[in-house]
Structure 1
Amino acid sequence: MITLQCLLEFQSEEDRQKVLDLMCKFSSAERYGYQRLLEGWPREELKKHLAQVFQINTRYADDAILKAQSILRSCQERGQSPSRVVFGGRSLFEKLKKKHLNGEKREELEKEWKEKRQGNLYSRGDRSKQGNPNLRFVWVRGELYLQINVGYRKWVYAKVVRPVKREGDKWIGFIWSLHQAEKTGKWFPYDVELKLKNGKVYAHVSIGEKFPPTIITLENGVIGIDVNAYPFHLALVEVSPDGNLVGYERISLHELLSADRDKREYLAWQVAYQVVSLAQEKGKAIAMEDLEKLPRGRRGDGFPKLRKTLQRWAYKSVLEKIEVLARRHGVAVEKRDPAFTSVIGKFKYAPQYLIDKDVAGALVIGRRALGFEEKLPEAYRCLLKDEEFLLYALAELEEKVKKLKRELKGEENEWRKKAIKAKLKATRGELKTLRAHLRALQSGEGEPASRQPADRWKEPVRGRFLGWRIKAWRVLSAALTVPVLEKFSHVKGTVRDFSPLRPILVLGDWERAVRRPVPVPGAGAAVQVV
């Protein structure tokens, strides 16, 4: 979607006041509708109720519900409590609540708060209603006006003021499309949202963007993208058409976290240009995560702090900008379910290529976009049938649970207690997974190991992941993380060195991996950086 802004000039103060009153009603309906959604009201019933209570037409009432639903959905995706949403902005609310300002500064804050809270009006587009039923652009004596529905058969006309800023200004294309629609009768939908700022009413117009034909496809491979929090960066991996790693690089995103809103937008677009330029240079499509396919809490490594960082606006904003910019330049964008990409990457490809888990996760995303399905290597299959090793791993997990309990009992700091509780919960989950696998193995219900040898050159297969394969990766993570990776980890915190898994993956020797006191000599990047 492309969003354009223009200023509205009213023919009289009376017309302006009518629109302001309507904006106040709509804003109140949005807030009221949000609370009713939390109570579980159905949409159709709520729409009629809002129209009756606030004396607005049912279209406005339905649009108020849509705005409220988008806020609720956004809040749920970020993991925030929906009941704590503050209409008008929490930062302004907190400043006013402190009451540390007086005079003109406080009046300015109160005015800004009131405008953000009460100065909104939205109408979604409709092709069958000449583009928009309630907020419609019309031509009057050769000049562009916005026709605003303020009541039954009552309209207010506001003149549109929007100078063309540059030669490539998208406003030119929008005006041309309006002219063509009026001549041909072939209308296109456009959403319009009115906002009050510094006493002036602005219209924000959102229209669908027309992209050129796709030139760069999956034929030459992909650039896999994975966003990571430790450190906060993009991992980019060049993947060949046969699914192998060609090269990789990283782009830091730390500046986005400390910059103000305008600078964040600028930096995010700069990152998008870097990624798309690389895709054009290599002649490869772009593969990224489809966040809508993954339930909240199953991203990255599963750590709360990691999820919290990744749920910031920067995470989704950067990926959206990469997608839009890529489509503008004819680069294909493939979005795939990111479930278990991190787990598969760090256990299968990190030790194989001697790369870190972030690059390995991006590689899995790229391979998934190319149609490859990740099978469990033969060595790992054999490990998951070794009852003696699994009992050893079970004992290590039980010992870790006891250790965490002792730490929790002796810790007085509440924040550290929360971190220990989170680790304890995760370890108990791994313990439960491993016990269930052992019971199935002892009863003869385990998945038989494949006799096909593991091969670096994987053959593409069709179809989706089967439940037992996903379960196998979970069991593998529970069996190897504590007894192998954490036991000999020389890095405090998140394990980032997966070279101790190489003897298992390559030689099938997990006893050697357990005994190894240090990482594999020479562990590092075995692939040239692109």
Structure 2
Amino acid sequence: MGQKKSLKASLTRISRSKIKTDKPVYQMLRGIESKIEYHPFLEDWGNSYQSILRAALNDRQKGLSETEIEKSYQKKYNIQWAWADSLATNATAVFDQLTTAKINQIEQIETELKTGLIKSQEQIEKLEISLSNPNRKNTRNLTKKLLGLKSKLQRLQRKKQQLEQLKQSKRLHICWGSKKLFNAQYHLEENGYSSHDEWFYDWRKKRGGNFYSVGKGSVDGNNPVTKIHHSSEDIFTVTITVPRCYQDTYGQNLTLKFEVTQARKHDLLYALEANKPVTVQIFRREHKDDQWYIHLSTYIQAVPYISSLKNGCLGIDLNANSIDLVYIKRDGNLHQIQGQKTVFSWEIPTGTTGQVEAALRDIVAEIVRIAESFQCPVACEDLDFSKKKASLRHQSKKYSRMLSGFVYDKFRSFLVARAEKYGIEVIFKNPFATSVIGLIKYMPKYGLNSASAAAMVIARRALGYSERIPSSYLSLICPELPEDGSGHSWSQWGKICKLLNLQKIPRHSLFEPAKVLEVLQIAVSRTKEAQYKPEYGEESQIYFFISSSLKQ
């Protein structure tokens, strides 16, 4: 596996054109979709294509390269080179996705095991403290707590076995047609089937009805086997080169019409005239009365950025309750003009998946509109939620719902897509200690709430400003540093975050600088006086009691 892409690289649709010019030319990936008229060939080739694709994936897992599949499949399945090339490319893409998914699943289980063991150890220590002072309050629901801890350790043991099996397994598994439908064959009546043949018909239909061809800009129609041409007004045609195995039935070529209107029409015309490759996917949508659609992927000219850090920056903070936005001037201060709003907030949308996505798109559209008015970039936190999602079981319900509700991932992808369309740059910055810095430095100064204060820190970080700790904390946190406060501010903020976490101070208390200083003084003194505590692996009566129960 190569080096992992940055968050922006994984979200952006802009890339540098491979065409050599005096100045670099940037292009944007564009997707265009439309209904296409039906023809029996689509059904037959869609089913055959998917069957060959499954065979190609099996061959990739056996060690055959993309080139070997491309060469051997032309004769084996009696198809042209371009179709074999598309199949090999498609199979390799699926193979790479499955490989990445396996790596991510291993990392997720390892993170969940680590988090689960930490939480279990914390529970064990609390129970030991309770048993050391066995009064009525401490022994309340003790049996229930022990059983809960035992259940958690049993689950972690099952996860460990799953991890070992996953690491030992060499084959990558995928269910073509969905697991839900596959399992329906064992419960026919419960799933509305009167016979196995009825289920098998749906199973074959689910696994077919889809084919794909890779575009090429240097050929007529911008694709070797599914050529795209403009017919008249909003009407375009796709001329499909029929695979040799079907030419006796359908002839050598087949032309079908589809309609593209408004902005997408101009994008497609530009791609055709500029000789941009047009990758084509034709597929059936079961939830839309089995109608057939064509999806075109091509490139258009990227919109140049109209935003500049010289005009300041918008900072965004996403949390469990809201999406908060703050505009910061170039000098790093909050923009405060009478009658002009510079602090914004939206509630995290709830509802069905479609409702949440629609609401997020509306919020993103408003954020981009605000960025256009200030002609400034938008700064976001560069957070990897894959590891956090692995520890959902051990987080609060609100935080778990926030992460599992895919709000973060969808919001960022919608934001980047919308911003690039209107020439607004999105900057992702390290989120380290943004909440604590905002609470301590900017919440009392500007009268902001905690989320808006964190958004201000993110915007300042994008503008290139660093955050020094207040001078009143310096001698307490870093007594070895000179009085001017020189030194690495991040390490100093890291110490403050650690001390505040140990004291479990409420967030609203951080509004008062004197209260923060008092808590830090207590935390520092307690740290110095702290006695040695047993680490992981050391003897614990409760731990061994539960461990022995698990072995039985």
- Say if 1:109 and 1:16 are closer, same or farther in 2 by CA, change over 3 A: closer
- Say if 1:274 and 1:178 are closer, same or farther in 2 by CA, change over 3 A: closer
Structure 1 residue 125, shift from structure 2 partner: 3.6
* Distance in structure 2 (CA, Å) of the matches to 1:310 and 1:373: 29
- Say if 1:108 and 1:500 are closer, same or farther in 2 by CA, change over 3 A: farther
Corresponding residue number in structure 2 for 1:309 = 402
* Distance in structure 2 (CA, Å) of the matches to 1:475 and 1:223: 28
* Distance in structure 2 (CA, Å) of the matches to 1:122 and 1:369: 41
**Secondary structure, in 3 states, of the residue corresponding to 1:226?**
strand
CA contact (8 A) 1:89 1:113 kept: no
- Say if 1:366 and 1:140 are closer, same or farther in 2 by CA, change over 3 A: closer
Say which is worse superposed, 322-331 or 337-346, in terms of deviation: 337-346
Corresponding residue number in structure 2 for 1:241 = 330
**Secondary structure, in 3 states, of the residue corresponding to 1:5?**
strand
- Say if 1:194 and 1:164 are closer, same or farther in 2 by CA, change over 3 A: closer
Corresponding residue number in structure 1 for 2:481 = 449
* TM alignment of 1:82-121, pairs within 5 A: 86-89=175-178, 92=181, 98-99=187-188, 100-103=190-193, 114-121=204-211
- Say if 1:479 and 1:280 are closer, same or farther in 2 by CA, change over 3 A: same
CA contact (8 A) 2:49 2:211 kept: yes
Corresponding residue number in structure 1 for 2:508 = 497
Corresponding residue number in structure 1 for 2:501 = 481
Structure 1 residue 21, shift from structure 2 partner: 0.8
Residue of structure 2 aligned with 1:373, choices 466, 484, 494? 466
The yes-or-no answer on 1:20 pairing with 2:26 is no
CA contact (8 A) 2:436 2:497 kept: yes
Residue of structure 1 aligned with 2:347, choices 236, 252, 265? 252
**Secondary structure, in 3 states, of the residue corresponding to 1:4?**
strand
CA contact (8 A) 1:218 1:285 kept: yes
* Distance in structure 1 (CA, Å) of the matches to 2:104 and 2:323: 21
CA contact (8 A) 2:267 2:300 kept: no
Structure 1 residue 449, shift from structure 2 partner: 2.3
- Say if 1:207 and 1:50 are closer, same or farther in 2 by CA, change over 3 A: closer
Corresponding residue number in structure 2 for 1:527 = none
Corresponding residue number in structure 1 for 2:429 = 336
Corresponding residue number in structure 2 for 1:438 = none
Corresponding residue number in structure 1 for 2:128 = none
* Distance in structure 2 (CA, Å) of the matches to 1:158 and 1:315: 44
CA contact (8 A) 2:503 2:519 kept: no
Corresponding residue number in structure 2 for 1:210 = 301
Residue of structure 1 aligned with 2:96, choices 51, 69, 76? 69
Corresponding residue number in structure 1 for 2:270 = 177
Corresponding residue number in structure 2 for 1:193 = 281
Structure 1 residue 272, shift from structure 2 partner: 1.5
CA contact (8 A) 1:224 1:365 kept: yes
- Say if 1:333 and 1:299 are closer, same or farther in 2 by CA, change over 3 A: farther
**Secondary structure, in 3 states, of the residue corresponding to 2:65?**
helix
CA contact (8 A) 1:276 1:326 kept: yes
* Distance in structure 1 (CA, Å) of the matches to 2:366 and 2:99: 33
Q: Which runs of 5+ in 1 are unaligned?
A: 387-447, 455-465, 490-495, 516-530
* TM alignment of 1:267-346, pairs within 5 A: 267-291=359-383, 294=384, 296-297=386-387, 304=395, 306=399, 309-310=402-403, 312-342=405-435, 344-346=437-439
- Say if 1:132 and 1:68 are closer, same or farther in 2 by CA, change over 3 A: farther
**Secondary structure, in 3 states, of the residue corresponding to 1:275?**
helix
What are the Cα deviations for residues 102-127 of structure 1, in whole angstroms up to 9, with x where unaligned?
24899998766544433333344444
CA contact (8 A) 1:216 1:285 kept: yes
- Which amino acid in the other structure matches residue 343 of structure 2? Y
* Distance in structure 2 (CA, Å) of the matches to 1:385 and 1:453: 9
- Which amino acid in the other structure matches residue 503 of structure 1? A
Corresponding residue number in structure 1 for 2:140 = none
* TM alignment of 1:391-406, pairs within 5 A: none
- Which amino acid in the other structure matches residue 159 of structure 1? T
- Say if 1:479 and 1:338 are closer, same or farther in 2 by CA, change over 3 A: closer
Residue of structure 2 aligned with 1:122, choices 183, 208, 212? 212
- Say if 1:158 and 1:204 are closer, same or farther in 2 by CA, change over 3 A: farther
Structure 1 residue 187, shift from structure 2 partner: 0.9
Structure 1 residue 196, shift from structure 2 partner: 2.6
Corresponding residue number in structure 2 for 1:220 = 311
The root-mean-square deviation of aligned C-alpha atoms, in Å, is 4.5
- Say if 1:122 and 1:265 are closer, same or farther in 2 by CA, change over 3 A: farther
* Distance in structure 2 (CA, Å) of the matches to 1:93 and 1:470: 52
Structure 1 residue 138, shift from structure 2 partner: 4.5
Corresponding residue number in structure 1 for 2:530 = none
Corresponding residue number in structure 2 for 1:429 = none
Structure 1 residue 188, shift from structure 2 partner: 0.6
CA contact (8 A) 2:53 2:90 kept: no
**% identity of equivalent residues:** 20
Residue of structure 2 aligned with 1:359, choices 417, 440, 452? 452
**Secondary structure, in 3 states, of the residue corresponding to 2:508?**
coil
* Distance in structure 2 (CA, Å) of the matches to 1:345 and 1:352: 10
Corresponding residue number in structure 1 for 2:30 = 2
* Distance in structure 2 (CA, Å) of the matches to 1:353 and 1:344: 13
- Which amino acid in the other structure matches residue 296 of structure 2? V
- Which amino acid in the other structure matches residue 279 of structure 1? A
With structure 1 as the length reference, what TM-score do the two structures score?
0.62
- Which amino acid in the other structure matches residue 26 of structure 1? L
* TM alignment of 1:148-163, pairs within 5 A: 148=241, 150=243, 157-163=253-259
Number of positions where the alignment pairs a residue of Structure 1 with one of Structure 2: 409
- Say if 1:245 and 1:109 are closer, same or farther in 2 by CA, change over 3 A: farther
CA contact (8 A) 1:226 1:362 kept: yes
- Say if 1:322 and 1:509 are closer, same or farther in 2 by CA, change over 3 A: closer
CA contact (8 A) 2:279 2:297 kept: yes
**Secondary structure, in 3 states, of the residue corresponding to 1:324?**
helix
Corresponding residue number in structure 1 for 2:532 = none
**Secondary structure, in 3 states, of the residue corresponding to 2:413?**
helix
Structure 1 residue 97, shift from structure 2 partner: 5.8
Q: Which runs of 5+ in 2 are unaligned?
A: 1-28, 78-82, 110-165, 167-171, 336-341, 526-552
- Say if 1:351 and 1:269 are closer, same or farther in 2 by CA, change over 3 A: same
What are the Cα deviations for residues 271-330 of structure 1, in whole angstroms up to 9, with x where unaligned?
212212222344433222345xx4743699997564773364432222222222223333
